[in-house]
Amino acid sequence: MNTWQKLRTMTKSSKDTEIGGVCGALGSATPIPSWMWRVGFLLAFTYYGVGLLPYIVLCICIPEEKPQSEPA
């Protein structure tokens, strides 16, 4: 599966989450690790004032990860 297909089917991470799971989802769908996404959003918000809006939009648009059923 290529990166574009992963981006189309990505879901918020339930394990790699700090606030909304957006950076964990981006980290699992792209070759860029989630901590670098977090730093990028933080720097974009701090220095340019635009990091918060894309994060909120992604938080609303990316669906939640479906819970996996536990084996009996």
Which pLDDT value is given to residue 71? 59
SS3 state of residue 53: helix
pTM, 2 dp = 0.69
pLDDT tens across the length of the chain (72 residues) = 666 666 666 777 666 667 777 888 888 888 888 888 888 888 888 887 787 788 888 888 877 777 665 555
Question: Quick one: pLDDT at residue 2?
Answer: 64
